Amino acid sequence: MNNNDLTSALEFLRSVEPLKDTLRRSHTASGRVESTAEHSWRLCLMALLFEDHYPDLDILKLIKICIIHDLGEVISGDIAAVDQIPGENKNHQERKDLEQLTSSLPPGLKDKILTLWDDYDQAQSEEALVAKAFDKLETILQHTQGQNPPDFDYDFNLSYGKKYTDFDKLTKSLRTLIDQDTAQLAQRNKR
């Protein structure tokens, strides 16, 4: 990389730093609101932990997808699944935001990031499908661990993302275990 490319890369890194402060609807076990960066970190950790289950997958591509899948939220923020409005295309806005964020990068690097994001958005590759499944699983796992508000809708999580978490035997098994915890919390919450 030449100095201009290095400067562009640093500018991009500075522009995505606010992802650390982009808040989600999930809470940590201590009650603090989770950031999108924290969600993405644990998503990458899931890819690493379950790598051996996917010997034919490009694990580096999977981790790259996990890293960039929510970068657009730096600009427009996170919109929780329960808050999404039917007919509004959240992904279209995230794509536009990601284009803006990557505008300072050299074309090849910008294209690489946008191609990974498009793959994730359209669930084209096996890596993207696994990333989508892990994304949903990480979210509902966090909801079983965090100090959620009293009116938290655990029942919503019992069906959330099934289209993706039913991807394969591993993701179905993880989903079953997490759903057991979710169902217990839903019961407790109704009392």
The domain limits of the chain are 3-190
Q: Give me 90's structure tokens.
A: 């959240």
Taken in order 164, 168, 170, 173, is the CA torsion positive or negative?
A: positive
Q: Is the pLDDT of residue 90 over 90?
A: no
At residue 189, the pLDDT reads 79
Whole-number Å distance between alpha carbons of 27 and 17:
20
Q: Give me 134's structure tokens.
A: 């892990």
Residue 38's pLDDT band, with cuts at 50, 70 and 90, is: very high
**Could you report the per-residue pLDDT of 45-81, keeping only the tens digit for each?**
999 999 999 999 999 999 999 999 999 999 987 766 6
At residue 1, the pLDDT reads 83
At residue 79, the pLDDT reads 67
Q: Whose structure tokens read 């808050």?
A: 83
**Could you report the per-residue pLDDT of 91-131, keeping only the tens digit for each?**
888 999 999 999 999 999 999 999 999 999 999 999 999 99
Contacts 24+ apart (CB under 8 A), 100-106: 100/75, 101/12, 101/15, 101/16, 101/71, 101/72, 101/74, 101/75, 102/12, 104/8, 104/11, 104/12, 104/15, 105/8, 105/9, 105/12, 106/5, 106/8
Distance of CA 107 to the CA centre of its chain: 25
Which CATH code of 1.10.3210.10, 1.10.1370.30, 3.40.30.10, 3.40.50.10860 fits the domain covering 3-190?
Answer: 1.10.3210.10
At residue 22, the pLDDT reads 94
At residue 23, the pLDDT reads 92
Q: Is the pLDDT of residue 84 over 60?
A: no
Q: Residue 188, SS3?
A: helix
At residue 29, the pLDDT reads 93
Please, which residues have CB within 8 angstroms of residue 120's CB and are 6 or more apart in sequence? 65, 68, 69, 128, 131, 132
